[in-house]
Structure 1
Amino acid sequence: MHNNDPHVPDPAQDGGVADNGVNADLDALTAKLTALESELAGARETVLRERAEIENQRRRLQRDLDNARRFANEKLLGELLPVYDGIVLGLANESADAKTLREGLDLTLKQLEKVIQGNGLSVIDPLHQPFNPEHHQAISSVTSNEHVPGTVVAVVQKGFVLNDRLLRPALVAVVGDH
């Protein structure tokens, strides 16, 4: 039987044109799928490389941080070695008199003060200054007609500030209220 309707395609006359269209669509979809799979594989590889790089950076940073902690005092200790050497030399000089030892100690103390000031440490020596509870610790109260109440009249132990942060308060005697 023959199809006489001009609008309905006759499968016998078509001869596989419909199959060719489906095959072309299938080939196009297969090619697109292959391209997308390749793109996905490339993206996965990029992500894996970036993860590995981030992990390597994290390890390097951790190693650098560990080294910074281990050697944080290296500069300071290197600067303290001449002070140490001065003390050792002074103690080794058994024939020195008191005046020579005192001069050596004075020079060593000046070296030490230079090192600590160069590293942000400053001395609190509040003699004859008003009492400051943020930097001073009163350990005794004395009476005095020469000084106003609240004045530091004796420093038992000097205090220290490290880069604007109190490291140790000065231990002081303060004039009390009359």
Structure 2
Amino acid sequence: MNEEVNEQTDIDTEKTEEVPETDAMNETNSTEGATEEVLQPEEEDNYAVLQAENEQQADQILRLQAEIANIQRTNARNQQNITKYRSQQLATSLLDVIDNLERALETEVTTEDATALKKGVEMVLNQFKAAFESEKITAIDPLNEPFDPNFHQAVSMMPAGDGQESNTVIQVLQKGYVLEDRVIRPAMVIVAE
């Protein structure tokens, strides 16, 4: 009989032990469920933060790409201008030479030797002009044209003569030159009042 009582006590103990374990498991499960519910809003917040950061980085990438494209366009334009106006400095240096050659041709000669020399100077001047034309450098010779401050530099004003309109170039003191669309040197002129 003692054995039966001991067996029954063992069974009751097992039942008692099982019940608290089951309750403990239920509590653990309910705690885990509560933890999941608490984590879900945090995960949503984390997701929203990550999504906002992703959008911000995507926007930053687009802006940087646009900035790079602008830099590339600017560099291409600068390179074109360098190529287009590459001969400007040399041309500016040679303008005085052309002016002097033109002045030399204006002198009157009487001897045969002087005439031959003048012919040689004229050939040199023509070569300079041909070289300038090949580099798209053209002269500004605005005699009897309206005064344009973009291309002309007025040295003085004189009263208009017969048949001359006011604000017209009546004398060119020094020719101007243009490279492509850029003025290398404006023409020095006298303008009618």
The alignment's TM-score, normalised by the length of structure 2, stands at: 0.44
Greater Rg, structure 1 or structure 2? 2
